[in-house]
Structure 1
Amino acid sequence: MAESHSSDASFSSIQPDCTEIIVVRHGETAWNADGRIQGHLDVELNESGRQQAAAVADRLSKEPKISVIYSSDLQWASETAQIIATSCGGLEVVKDPDLRERHLGDLQGLVLREAAKLNTKAYMAFLSHSTEQEIPGGGESLDQLYQRCTSALERNE
């Protein structure tokens, strides 16, 4: 048993030929604060979101080596990424539309607490546990979101 434990210890550290991915959620927007559904709609960070991004940037600037930053091309994500990139030595931000959040179709722009009343069909599709369920109005299924984001990661590795 002791031999098995000591051989397992080699898996606890990151190997030099491995890539570590740090995932950061964007800072807050006015729409987030209002409970409004963004999806692919382009909204900028609010002041609180900029402060959140600066706090994460300060923390990540202490990491030994961040070599690249990828971001959605939407304002709230790319501004968050740019704040981090500047703090981490002026790295370039690679913007990729395939890293956007889930497209939420007819729900985009609605306040979540009102969505069930305003568009019941889209709201029920959003709540569905089926990974194949698309949201009316051009919204993605969870499978489509997974495929899009996975393709982006594989393309950018």
Structure 2
Amino acid sequence: MATCIVSNEPTINPMVAVVSESEGTIEIVPHDVAEIVIVRHGETTWNASGRIQGQLESELNEVGWKQAEAIADRLGKELKPTAVYSSDLKRAKDTAEMIAKKCHCHEVIVVPELKERHVGSLQGFVWGEIQEKVPEAYHAFFSSEKDLEIPGGGESFNQLCERSVAALEEIASRHKGERVIVVTHGGVLRAIYMAITREPTAGKVLNASINVLHLSEKKWAFKSWSDVAHLNEVGFLQRGFNGDSLQQ
């Protein structure tokens, strides 16, 4: 399976500004652009303990709920979204529901294709123990072969990339000239970023970060990446999600 490549455009392009309401100007999304605000869910109990979630469930912890509230407060002051979408995993849905309430959206639209990567036998283990306890899955996860599935029922990086990109394309097709919010996971964000920019790493993908993507036809470009300015008073895990090293 070929590596997922979305566009031949430069990595991060200049974008049409969307100015906040507090500055006294009208916010506009160009008529041929879908603006997708992609949010990583708030911190969970497993995030805090360094345990690998994958598609297993883990609840938002106290910090995670505060982060979700901080995201909601910020997005509630910006251009009103037409819709709020979410992964079907609870940590994402809980974050999305708080955002939707603050943004006066009546429902959260659940999209299963936005769920976290299934990482097979790695799920449930602490990052620091996987090389010894599940070596085959460890090597598959960190392999440069992007079409290698992770033992134990896991997805390849390309499979994750293709379903994530397809989900965003479908959402974008419904919302030209509009802003929407999508709440998803660190692995999904990493895959989307690497597919669009063709960079070998996405760096740290932080809990409760805001990432703004513009989609026009088949051209994709990030307006902002891993923005956590709204978390200054709440705090966040500095190690974030980084599938390119063991600094989890």
With normalisation by structure 2, the TM-score equals 0.57
Separation (CA, whole Å) in 2 of partners of 1:63 and 1:111: 38
Separation (CA, whole Å) in 2 of partners of 1:78 and 1:12: 30
Consecutive aligned runs of 4 or more in structure 1 exceeding 3 Å deviation = 11-14
Matched, 1:32 2:47: yes
The alignment yields a C-alpha RMSD, in angstroms, of 1.6
The CA deviation at 1:91 is 3.4
- 2:113 aligns to what SS in structure 1? helix
Match of 2:182 in 1: none
Separation (CA, whole Å) in 1 of partners of 2:51 and 2:109: 27
CA contact (8 A) 1:31 1:38 kept: yes
- 2:37 aligns to what SS in structure 1? coil
User: Tell me, which stretches of 5 or more residues in structure 2 are unaligned?
Assistant: 1-14, 18-28, 174-248
- 1:85 aligns to what SS in structure 2? helix
CA contact (8 A) 1:131 1:142 kept: yes
User: How many residue pairs are counted as aligned between the two chains?
Assistant: 148
Separation (CA, whole Å) in 1 of partners of 2:84 and 2:59: 19
The CA deviation at 1:17 is 3.0
With normalisation by structure 1, the TM-score equals 0.88
Separation (CA, whole Å) in 1 of partners of 2:134 and 2:113: 26
Matched, 1:83 2:85: no
Q: Point out the structure with the larger strand share.
A: 2
Tell which structure's C-alpha radius of gyration is larger.
1
Match of 1:46 in 2: 61
Q: Point out the structure with the larger helix share.
A: 1
Structure with the larger RCO, 1 or 2 (CA within 8 Å, 6+ apart): 2
CA contact (8 A) 1:69 1:91 kept: no
Task: Give the 3 Å change call, closer, same or farther, for CA 12–96 of structure 1 in structure 2.
Answer: closer
Q: Percent identity?
A: 52
